[in-house]
Structure 1
Amino acid sequence: MATGPSSSFLDAIGQSILDSASSIDAHIDASALIDRISGDAEASSSAHRARQFALAELKALAKRAPGAVVATEGAVVAILRVVEKLSPRGDEEIEDDNVESLQEALECLGCLMDDGTSKVGKGEVKEDTSRAQLVAELIVKHSENGKQLLRLLCVSETSTQYDAMVLLQKIYQRLPEPVNSAILADPRSLGHLMHVLQSSPIDYVRNESLGLLLLITAGNADIQTIVTVQGFIETIFSILEDEDLTAGGKVARDLLQCLINVVGNATCQKYLRETNGAASIVSAISMAVTGKSEEEDDEYEKREGEHRWSCLSMLVDASLALAQSDQAEANRLALVKAGALELLQHLADPMAEVPQLRLVQLFEALEPCPQAAERLQSFARRRAPLLFDLVAVLLGPVTPLTLRNALGRVLCRCIARHSSLQSFFCSSLGPELQEEPNEATPAGRLVVDLLEVAARGGGASPEALWFALQLLLATLIGNASVQSACMAMPVSIPSDAGPAETFQELLFRAFSAMARTVAAHDEAEPDMTRPNEAASLVGFLKLVLYWLANCPSVLSNFAMSPVMIPVVMDLTAFSCAAAFYTVQVQGLACLVMGACIMSEREAAEDSMTLISQRIGIETFQQKVECLWRSEALQRPARSLGDFRWFNGHYRQFVRGHQRAVQRRMVQLYVSQGSNFR
């Protein structure tokens, strides 16, 4: 007997009838209760109890059928009149007989503002916010934009404070502007709210005050300024001292979101700088990175994947907001002076990818500050400069590639930006006369060690070697004195009385050895997201090309070298199964030979002759143009943790050098054209 569909239809009709009847009953009950609480109550204990009972019943009905209560004419207004009647006047306290009734009324209004839900299909829920919006509008209209509720923040009765703050948050989420106006019209309400946050011994009351402050500080600059001068920032960090930042709990996250809200305000930024707020931020970041959990190990490991680094990310977001604002220069200086760069030493600690990249992002925001360069090379607070530690992480054997990519990009940018840091890095290339045990190896010596391994014919980590070459390139960029100094910079102490090997000689020797090594291997399917031996050759060519194009003395030595010119000429015809490396190596090698054409006339003509005889002028131009059009040069990876072959500065340099070589070739062709056919 198939009765399924008919039974379902009848059940639906029956349920609809029951719902309608229940709604009618609720409406009748609500009308009766509203009449009871709206009547002129006598000032007797029995009258107080009757009103309290009626409010309690109305609250229960509001939980069960809020729509029926709201639909009852004058219901919300009647409840608001009860709140007004029971609220204290001025600095008075709530009468003991009115406390419970006032709380019932506030809780009833809160129930009416809870979003209703109605089932619209299997597994589907549709939220109805129109009722909550209507109640919010009525409350705002009949309570002076919420001023009556704000006055309840000054009472000493904590449960009433709590209920008022809960209700205010629900109103603010729907009608923020009227509440903002009420707060600014009576700034004492903010003082009362701040007092609750700063002094309430009851956590749930304090947390509700924090929730309300989180809302009202999100977008109103005047409110942000008022709470800041009332000690909001200091209060945030004071409470954070009792919170486990490594747990990423809700209270800690709300506090930090409040901090993010106010640090975007120019006045608050100035206040933060003048009250040592930058030091508090740095201290909190340090705690978020290194703080130990009091939980059991298994629970700690669970948090590791869920909330372990949420507070660190929010603290870094606050720092970035400071470092990227209109007052960025002053804010960066404050953060650097507070020791923000010293946080980078934690990159050497075992850590997940998220905090590593967040710390590097902080470094990226601070590196334009001139004092950042001073801190990186300072011996004052540390046994060795921070730069040495960062380079050790960058070139270390177990550093994840994502961290190498991010740290290498920011560190190279910082070195290239600050000439004092370039000179310092250059000086660290020289050998130490006496090495002290347990001292950090100078940054330049780490690079020299890799070059020496490469010069012996291999064995150097391709990743470490690539980033070492990028560091050297950053050291040379735009600094003529460093470019010249590197030529004669000794990098070894000879065991005999002979001359020491210079940096230029070591670099050329390593370059030649790498060219031979790569020629002996054929990279069929390269991973374009990480360096290999062929990538190291690209790194050498980038460095040599820039140095030759910008330092005439080095160019003269290179162009007249009986060793280096044949190496580069062979690379102009380099070929392997990986088309990418073929384009990159050939194009860069051609530009290196183009640099030789820019040298003294005899060497220039010899280089031009080699090009015309070995590959041809037209083919030379085609190889350079292929390099210029390559995606690696034209569209560098943007994400901080992605591997990048070139940056925008090097792209501009390639274009300028390409055009200069073309002009020089035309000049030589016009004057000695018959020799180059």
Structure 2
Amino acid sequence: MDFFASGLSALRGQKGQHQAGSETIDRLCERIEYGTLVEDRRSAVLALRACSREHKRDIGSRGVSVLCKVLRQDSMDLDITKAVLETLTVLCQADTEREGTQEFALEMSNAFLKVRGASSQTEVYSTASNADLQKIVAFENAFERLLAIIDDEGAISGGIIVQDCLQLVQNLLRYNVSNQNYFRETSCIQRIPALFHGEGIDDSGVHDPMMKDAWSDQKGNNMIMVLELIRVLVVPDHSNTTTNQKSMYQCGILQLLIDLSLTSNAPQRVKASAFYALAELIRLNKVNQDALSKAVISPAHPPYVHSEDPSSSLTPPTRSSAQLSRTSFQSGRGSALGHRFLEPRDRCPAIVEVVAIAVGQYPGCTYSVRAAATCLFQSFVLENPDTQMVLATTLNPPPEDNPNTPSHEKPQSPGTLLLGALQGWQEDGEVAATDPYNSWFATVLFSHILQNNTRAKAIALAITFGDEENGEDPVSLIHAIAAALMVAVKGGADVRVALGYLALLCVWCYDSSKSIKDFLSEGAHLQFLIELISPSSKEDPMVQGLAAFLLGICYEFNWEQDALITRATIQPIILSRIGLDHFAACITRVRESKPFKAAIPLMTVLPSEEGDGRLPNLFFDYSFVEFMKRTFERTQKSIAASPHNTRPQQAQQQTNNAEMESQLTALRSKVSRQDAEMAELRSKLEEAQQALSRQAQEREEYERKMAELRWEQQEGQMRYSALEKEHEDLLVCLAEQDDELTDLKGRLQALEVGGA
């Protein structure tokens, strides 16, 4: 009865009133902890065991430490020990019958995820612009830990945590030379391909270029962050770019980008980012450029097609001029709804597919993808004259359209696609009215093939159209482009079409007297330019400015003796019908126009610019803008020069100017490289100084510890000596006591004998 009474009293408060569970647990814990009698502690433990199944959470949070204490204190009491162990066993068992357990576990998991997400976002914000904090975080194994988290979360197939981690890695690397060196030296670049996990990797680990898995919005965001990470490591004109480009090529990133941009079913925004990353990966790198030129793919044809568009076709488009112009980008924009996949075509060179996308062969590609493909082509030929020559040799007229010939059997080359796009504009006015960028992108690509390459210009100049055997007069390619320009202006086409053709002719004719001779051999061309530039012209000021720039080039470099229209013919016409002031004003107006100033190195189309059927704000290629800024003043002043100046004098002046410009460019490049090297050396010096400072601190710490150890050793020796002396004294005392004990024993025996 005492047992039940004690248990009942533990569960009831004063005056017999029932107490709440938490209050009861608190009182029992207090009795266990502060009880002086074993019986009181035993009864409280038994009562606590009785409550353990109904109040697990309260006992677990308040009583575990008390139970452990009483278990140590009363370990000899079998009843207490048994009750404590049974209570702890109940507390540790999973309660699967109660819904609250799972809910509590989910709450705890969500709390942990929120804490981790908040911490990652905090680090993202704090490392965005703090170089010192970036170094501190990076050298705490941040890259290895972040990449491990990304891998655990499923790489690009993961959630928002993956995006935050990738953003943090970018913050640590952007504009930070030392962190980039550390990232490369710790072989983290070799771990980037693993971030493509689940995309194009089959069960056997073999790369599948089709990448047919579905793409969620978060997955697309994660992939774009991976591509941005690659671009951070290959920023143009950076001291680490060449080394990082080499490392990325060796670990297979270049091939992954080719497959992602050209053979996968990735969303348009992902493909555009992949094109930009690939463009910077091969920029000014001959090995990577050659690797792209040799790449052969099985393209996904086309990436997306709107199923509600009756004009969409499941058959691959042809590559001939007429069919190309009829099938090339009736809208130039894709939709996020109603898409379906189409069967892949046969294998073809990757660069052919890049050109096909840029010039508008595939329905559904957005302008952002086409602009990105154009940037990739520019990087492909940048300072690569051999590649320019190879592409120039592919500039063959497209074959006649034959509906009985399968599209994949027809000739396909970059040059054929470009010529088809340039001609297709005239053959399909409806397409030209809705999408002027077919010809505009083609002229941009064509101009990059010809830029600063005399031999490529000569090859293009030799291309003619027309079958002489059938009585047709041959027409040179430069005449065909001039004719297309005239049709565009007179037909009221979008201003972008005329600007594209004029920019191409300016690049082609610059410093090429033979090209100018052929261009001016048709008198209508000069008359057309004069009409465009004349004060009475109603054409767009940008068209007038480029026409004036082209006319100035034709005058400046017109040195062929047998030319039909010479410098002496051109200058009087300019002075009488245009005037020097108006001529200069035309060039100035185009240079001061908003589209001209808005040109940026990385041709980009924002999503807001291509929605609701609008055309993007692309009017000028950045390389042409730089070309015009470099040469307009010289071209503008040449109009006032005497037409009777001999070529050697002018050529010598041009040569001197060219040499000076070349030397100036070389010096600027050298200074830029030296600045980069100095920055890198400063960074290394700072790291070395920090390492030296750390070593000095460590040395001081070691010396301090050595001094402490020496002092402890001396103290130990002194204690040992004292103990040894004490030990000797004790031995002496022990010997004396033994003697005394022996003496006492002898006396005791003597007394016993005497008593007997």
1:76-155 to 2 correspondences below 5 Å = none
Report the alpha carbon displacement of residue 594 of structure 1 after superposing the two structures with TM: 1.0
Q: Equivalent of 1:316, from 227, 235, 245?
A: 227
Residue 596 of structure 1: how far off its partner (Å):
2.1
1:266 is the counterpart of 2:181: yes
Q: Which has the higher contact order (CA 8 A, sep 6+)?
A: 2
CA distance in 1, matches of 2:113, 2:490: 75
Alignment partners' CA distance in 1, 2:473 and 2:85: 92
Q: Does 1:416 align with 2:382?
A: yes
2:48/2:87 contact within 8 Å kept: no
Mapped pair 1:654 → 2:628: yes
Q: Name the structure 1 match of 2:490.
A: 519
| Residue type of the alignment partner of 1:415 | V
Q: Which amino acid aligns with 2:141?
A: Q
Alignment of 1:284-323 (within 5 A): 286=200, 304=216, 306-323=217-234
Q: Secondary structure at the match of 2:294?
A: coil
Aligned equivalents of 2:376, 2:526: Cα separation in 1: 34
**CA distance in structure 2 between the partners assigned to 1:52 and 1:364 by the alignment:** 72
Task: Determine if the alignment matches structure 1 residue 340 to structure 2 residue 298.
Answer: no
Say which of 555, 558, 570 aligns to 1:597: 555
**In structure 2, distance between residues paired with 1:500 and 1:44:** 117
Residues 461-610 of structure 1 mapped to structure 2, 5 A cutoff: 461=432, 462-488=436-462, 490=463, 494=467, 496=469, 505-521=476-492, 533-573=494-534, 582-600=540-558, 603-610=566-573
Contact 1:574 1:585 in 2 (8 A): no
**Separation in 1, partners of 2:589, 2:114:** 65
Unaligned runs of 5+ residues in structure 2 are 1-19, 73-83, 94-104, 124-132, 174-178, 202-207, 299-346, 560-564, 607-615, 646-756
Shift of 1:168: 13
Instruction: Tell whether 2:242 aligns with 1:329.
Output: yes
- Letter of the aligned partner of 1:611 in structure 2? I
User: What are the residue-to-residue correspondences of 1:61-76 with 2, within 5 Å?
Assistant: none
Looking at structure 2, the residues matched to 388 and 40 of structure 1 have their Cα atoms a distance apart, in angstroms, of 88
Check the 8 A contact 1:236/1:259 in 2, yes or no: no
Q: Which one of 176, 179, 191 corresponds to residue 277 of structure 1? A: 191
Which residue pairs with 2:611 in the alignment? none
CA contact (8 A) 1:285 1:316 kept: no
Evaluate the alpha carbon distance shift between residue 536 and residue 448 of structure 1 in structure 2; reply closer, same or farther with a 3 A threshold: same
**Distance in 2 separating the partners of 1:669 and 1:341:** 54
Contact 1:422 1:475 survives alignment (8 Å): yes
| Deviation readout 1:583-636 (Å, 9 max, x if unpaired) | 011111111111122134782221111111222222212212111211111222
Contact 1:316 1:359 (C-alpha < 8 Å) held by counterparts: yes
Q: Quote the offset at 1:384 in angstroms.
A: 2.9
* Distance 1:44-1:173 versus aligned 2 partners, 3 A rule: farther
Q: Is the 8 A contact 2:510 2:557 kept in 1?
A: no
**Would you say 1:446 and 2:417 are equivalent positions?**
yes
Contact 1:341 1:363 in 2 (8 A): no
Q: Is the 8 A contact 1:217 1:261 kept in 2?
A: yes
Which runs of 5 or more structure 1 residues have no equivalent in the other structure? Answer: 1-24, 64-68, 70-74, 86-94, 105-158, 178-215, 294-299, 522-531, 672-677
TM-score by length of 2: 0.53
Q: Could you tell me how far apart the structure 1 residues matched to 2:87 and 2:140 are? A: 32
Q: Which moved more, 1:347-356 or 1:434-443?
A: 434-443
Deviation at 1:444, TM superposition (A): 0.8
Query: Is 1:451–1:510's contact at 8 Å kept on the other side of the alignment?
Result: yes
Q: Give CA deviations for 1:288-335 in whole Å, capped at 9, x if unaligned.
A: 996556xxxxxx7xx84x435233223323333443486432333333
Amino acid at match of 1:466: W
Q: Which protein shows a greater Rg? A: 2
| Aligned residues of 2:49 and 2:86 also touching (Cα < 8 A) | no
Pair 1:58–1:491, CA change in 2 (3 A): farther
Q: Which residue of 2 aligns with 1:615?
A: 578
Provide the residue aligned with 2:304 in structure 1. Answer: none
Question: What is aligned with 1:128?
Answer: none
* Counterpart contact for 2:468–2:474, Cα < 8 Å: no
Q: Describe the SS at the equivalent of 2:523.
A: coil
Identity %: 14
Corresponding residue for 2:349? 385
Deviation at 1:281, TM superposition (A): 3.8
CA RMSD of aligned residues (A): 5.4
The 2-side partners of 1:485 and 1:457 are apart by: 28
Query: 1:389·1:440 contact (CA, 8 Å) conserved in 2?
Result: no
Report the number of matched residues: 495
**Counterparts of 2:198 and 2:535 in 1: how far apart (Å)?**
53
Q: Match of 1:224?
A: 141
Q: CA deviation at 1:428?
A: 1.6
Query: Given the superposition, is the C-alpha separation of residues 597 and 448 from structure 1 closer, same or farther in structure 2, using an over 3 Å criterion?
Result: same
**TM-score normalised to the size of structure 1?**
0.58
Contact persistence 2:510–2:553 (CA under 8 A): yes
Match for 2:388: what amino acid? Answer: Q
Counterpart code for 2:229 = A
Closer/same/farther in 2, CA of residues 609 and 168 from structure 1, 3 Å limit: closer
Q: Corresponding residue for 1:195?
A: none
**Partners of 2:386 and 2:116 in 1: how far apart?**
56
Matches of 2:138 and 2:86, distance apart in 1: 40
C-alpha distance 413-56 of structure 1, shift in aligned 2 (>3 A): farther
Please state whether the residue corresponding to 1:220 is helix, strand or coil: helix
Does the residue aligned with 2:489 lie in a helix, a strand or coil?
Answer: helix
- 1:517-562 alpha-carbon deviations (Å, 9 max, x no partner): 42133xxxxxxxxxx5432111111111122223232123334542
Change (3 A) 1:49 1:27: closer
Contact 1:253 1:311 in 2 (8 A): yes
For residues 224-282 of structure 1, the C-alpha deviation after alignment (integer angstroms, 9 at most, x for no partner) is 27947xxx857855x56xx5955x546765776787688765334334368x4344345
Q: Distance in 1 between matches of 2:50 and 2:291?
A: 67
Q: Deviations over 1:132-167 (max 9, x none)?
A: xxxxxxxxxxxxxxxxxxxxxxxxxxx9xx99x959
Tell me the SS of whatever aligns to 2:412: coil
Cα distance change on mapping 1:628 and 1:225 into 2, 3 Å: closer
The answer on whether the counterparts of 2:509 and 2:553 sit within 8 Å (CA) in structure 1 is yes
1:354 equivalent in alignment to 2:281: no
Looking at structure 1, the residues matched to 473 and 243 of structure 2 have their Cα atoms a distance apart, in angstroms, of 46
Which one-letter code corresponds to 1:389 in the other structure? Answer: E
Change (3 A) 1:465 1:669: closer
